[in-house]
Amino acid sequence: MKPDCHYLHAPSDNPVIAIVQGIDRDVEHGEDLLMLGLGIVMLSSTFAPVAPPTVLLPLVALTFAITVCFAHRNYQRMERKLFASMTQLNSQELALLRPIAAVFSEAPAGSLAESFNPAKNLKRTLKSALGGVLINPLWMPIFYMMGIQIKAEKNLITLNQAIIGVERRILPPSTRA
């Protein structure tokens, strides 16, 4: 196996700890990606005096779309690496990681084509249209992309909670981050 396709890179006394620490780093990376997009969007108001809304607002939606794509790719990579690592574990170790694996089965990444398709996400589309009617029609794509970003963030929060639960069971209190 390539070293990038699982979490068991170095020989460790406890492979479960290595997996949990690796997936925790990847969750932090996914959260950083989403926060980068949010930070860029927050800074976009500094360009309002020089860029018209017809230019600035589509760029805001594009920023959300790009960061969501990177976060989605990171989430899929975490899932692949976790399940590849789990094939090398015994049943006791698998039982410890079951809550993390359950998150991936309950909240799968899905495809980006489906996420970006307004016809397949009618609730998100209607909420975006309502927001566009209330504020400005140019905000409709931004609201739609924000909905995708919020869903990705919820998946990472759920995964992070599962990781914390596993860490509480396997790590001594003095080594928890």
**Does the model's pTM come out above 0.85?**
yes
Residue showing tokens 């460790």: 12
How far apart (Å, rounded) are the C-alpha atoms in residues 60 and 82? 33
Burial label for 112, CB within 10 Å (0-12, 13-18, 19+), is middle
- Report which DSSP code applies to 118: T
Note down pLDDT in tens along the chain; length 177 residues: 454 688 877 666 788 888 999 999 999 999 999 999 999 999 988 988 898 988 999 999 999 999 999 999 999 999 999 999 888 888 898 899 999 999 999 988 888 888 899 999 999 999 999 999 999 888 999 999 999 999 999 999 999 999 999 999 887 766 655
Q: Are 125 and 144 in contact (CB under 8 A)?
A: yes
110: left (phi over 0), alpha (psi -120 to 50) or beta: left
Instruction: Determine phi and psi for 140, rounding to 5 degrees.
Output: -60, -50
Which token pair is 41? 């969007």
